[in-house]
Amino acid sequence: MQSEKEFIIIIKSHQGILYKVAKMYTEAPEDQKDLYQEIVYQLWKSFGSFKNESKIGTWIYRVALNTAISQLKKDQKRKSKISFNEEFIDRIDQVDHLVEERIHLLYKHIKALSLVEKGIMFLYLEGKSHSEIAQITGFSTSNVGTRIGRIKKKLQKQLKN
C-alpha cells in the first residue's frame, strides 16, 4: 500500500517533533510512549484526509499538539494533579552547568504555563514563525505575537522571583 509506506516515511522524518511533544506534555516514560502512540494513531486516522493545503510539518504539529492537549484534558478529569518531567531538552554530554540550570529553570516555568501557552512556546522555541504558529494553532498572526509577548513577560517575571 503506497500511502502506508508514505506515512511511515513521514513519521520517521518527523519523529523528533512527536517525541518532543510527548515529553513536553507528560512525565513518566510510559506516558510518553502512550502519548507518542496516540499521536501516531491520530495522524494515521487523518492521513487520508490531508489535502496538502498546508505543509506536512504544520499538519503534524497541529495534530500532535491537539492530541496532547486532548489527552491531558482526559487525564485531568481522572487525576487531580499532573506533574511534568523536569528533563526535556536533549543535551550534549558535556555542558556548562550554569547554562544547564538556567535551561532547566526556564523549562520548569514553561511547563507550568497553561496548555495553550505551553504549546505556543513550544512552537516558538522550535523556531516557528508567528505565521506558522498561527496556522498550527488557528489563532491570527497578530494574536500569536501578542500571546508570545505576554508569555515572555510572564516568564521573565517568574524567573526574576
Q: What is the pLDDT of residues 103-138, one digit of tens each?
A: 788 888 888 899 899 999 989 988 899 999 999 899
Which residues touch 20 (CB under 8 Å, ≥6 apart)?
Answer: 88, 122, 126
pTM of the model: 0.60
By residue count, the chain amounts to 161
pLDDT value at 89 more than 60? no
**Which whole-number Å values give the CA distances from 14 to 57, 138, 148, in the listed order?**
7, 21, 25
Q: What is the pLDDT of residue 78?
A: 63
Interatomic CA distance for residues 79 and 126, integer angstroms: 30
Q: Is the pLDDT of residue 140 over 90?
A: yes
At residue 68, φ and ψ (nearest 5 deg) are -65, -45
pLDDT at 94 over 50: no
How many percent of the chain have pLDDT more than 70? 85
For the range 116-119, what are the long-range contacts, defined as Cβ-Cβ under 8 Å and sequence gap of 24 or more? 116/69, 117/147, 117/151, 117/154, 118/24, 118/25, 119/65, 119/68, 119/69
Amino acid code (one letter) for 101: E
Domains delineated in the chain: 1-85 (1.10.1740.10), 93-161 (1.10.10)
